[in-house]
Amino acid sequence: MNAARGERLPSPPRRTWLLIAALLVVAVAAAWSLQLDLRPLWSANWWGEAWQRLRQFGGGLLAPALDAATLGRVAGLALDTLAIAALGAFAGMVLALPLALGSSRAVMHADGARGWPTTVVVEAFRLLLDVLRGVPDFVWAVLLANVFGVGPVTGLLAIAVSVAGVLGKVLGEQWDNLPQERLLALRTTGASRLAVFAYGIAPLGARTSLAFVLMRFECTVRNASVIGVVGGGGLGAGLWDAFTDGDWSRVATLLAALLVVTAAVDLGTNLLRRRLRTDPNHPQLERALDRRAAGRRRAQVAVVLGLAIGAACWRLGSPLLQAFTELSRIEWDFVWPYTLGMFTPSLEMTTWAAVARAALVPLGIGVLATLLGAGLAAVLAPFASSSMQLEAHRFTGERASTVARLARWCVLLLARAVALLWRGIPEVAWLIVLAVLLQNGVTPCVLAIALHSAGVLHRVFTDAVDDVPFAQLERVGAGRAATFAYGALPSVASTWRSYALFQFEVNVRAGVALGLVGAGGLGQLFRHNLAFRQHADAAAFLWGMVLLTVVIDRASRALQLRRLRC
């Protein structure tokens, strides 16, 4: 309906209210399963003690360690973090590509083969991706540290394995969700699977795949910055040491370094997006590009990425050389049985009952953190959208004053700064900050993951809003608020839901990872059994992580398929 003509805009459909009610029920059930105890928050004594801890922590934050020795060490750790993230992401993408090809029905059925052997191959690849993705990078770091020792190489390999699982799953799903009728012309020519992929699937899915790869690299940088907590090197190692020592000034310096690194990567990926933005229908493309100009831009980006990988190899050259040297000295007769033992679970029913109970902790954390994070991101999205704040005159016909335009610039910058703060500090670092106020427990873990998720989802939510064509927004014929509610929001709802479902799986893994540092559940019991060399029980909790990921993955795939049939 056109609000400009005085007509009434439609109210939300009944299924929207049913969805909201269902989410509230799920949130209450998750809170009950975690047995969240918020009663201390109403105690005057609790607030007094929390205030004292907060004063000590705040004093350190206001007086960060800025001496030359500390700054030099922090700068070195920051460079290690970037190098770990770059090499880990690159190795993960190289491994993810063949895994994504094997797990995609669109690729495997491209030549018309739909028999049971192809289905078995697809499910086998998906199961392998579930194993790689189901074990969080923190847990991979704990396992790999037993072979490669504590250091950046362990962090690099842990991130590579995790990135391979995540990217392989998402790329395969994105290719499966492409409109298959657009591939019929290639298929009717008798093209092979690889030809259909190279000339049909890859070009059609390039834009969405690139957006996710860049977002995943940002997440990889944040993971690399804290994986040192469990032996992966980088800023995380220094942050955890400073936290355990109670050196709040050094904690403040390291947190500032995390924000600087995240902001730099955020700016860099934004520049890459702009250089690779060649779609003439994109609302924010400055000018149309011919094929030669678009190819030149892609070449420039490839050179920059190549230089970044080379610099990362140079930075980690010594640790990598040392790791390869140590590999030649490993007694594989001991390592292989130990490694196989780590994946051979106990078959006792009592152990698996404990696994089932422990799985409720990361599951509940994932539900609550995703709902809270997605809600915060959705609320912040219109304020951080350049379309809604800076380009509104192009679809509403309004004429904003200079003061109004300046105010909207301020709103946009403030919203993006808040979101950058949320996602710039990883979950573990948020947990360290919140533990000062709330101490250890499940509540700070939920809030830590929720804040980080809000920042991550805000980025993709806002990008989705900015990608809506202005011609589609013009049809609403209303002001900015109504245009967002009845024009942009319906257009991006399915995309937001897809990202939220994926973030839920990420948050469940984060709940497992935080278990290693005190959140409880699968992560804590895995590390406890591993420390006491109860490898069969530790393997049971490890496979519990994988099974939890498989259940969530199959449920999310079913929801995506249902969405496509609607």
Instruction: Over range 325-338, report the average pLDDT.
Output: 70
Mean predicted lDDT score pLDDT of the chain:
77
Q: Is the predicted pLDDT of residue 12 greater than 70, yes or no?
A: no
Query: What confidence score (pLDDT) does residue 42 get?
Result: 59
Query: What confidence score (pLDDT) does residue 373 get?
Result: 93
**Total residue length of the chain:** 566
Q: Which fold has domain 80-330?
A: MetI-like fold (1.10.3720)
Dig out the tokens for 545 from the structure.
């992580």
Total-model pTM: 0.74
Instruction: Over range 535-549, report the average pLDDT.
Output: 86
Q: Which fold has domain 24-63+346-566?
A: MetI-like fold (1.10.3720)
Dig out the tokens for 423 from the structure.
């996602």
228 vs 128, higher pLDDT: 128
Instruction: Report the share of the chain in percent with pLDDT over 90.
Output: 5
State which H helix or E strand residue 458 sits in.
Answer: helix 442-466
- Distance of CA 45 to CAs 39, 49, 215, 260, 433, Å? 12, 6, 43, 37, 20
265 vs 289, higher pLDDT: 265
Same fold, 24-63+346-566 and 80-330: yes
Q: Is the predicted pLDDT of residue 94 greater than 70, yes or no?
A: yes
Q: How confident is the model at residue 450 (pLDDT cuts 50, 70, 90)?
A: very high
3-state secondary structure labels for all residues of 308-372:
HHHHHHHHCHHHHHHHHHHHCCCCHHHHHHHHHHHCCCCCCHHHHHHHHHHHHHHHHHHHHHHHH
Query: What confidence score (pLDDT) does residue 376 get?
Result: 93
172 vs 370, higher pLDDT: 370
For residues 550 and 134, is the Cβ–Cβ distance under 8 A? yes
**Gap between the Cα atoms of 290 and 278, Å rounded:** 9
For the four alpha carbons of 137, 140, 146 and 149, in that order, the dihedral sign comes to negative
Q: Is the predicted pLDDT of residue 454 greater than 90, yes or no?
A: yes
- Domain range annotation of the chain: 24-63+346-566, 80-330
Query: What confidence score (pLDDT) does residue 29 get?
Result: 66
Query: What confidence score (pLDDT) does residue 564 get?
Result: 36
Query: What confidence score (pLDDT) does residue 487 get?
Result: 80
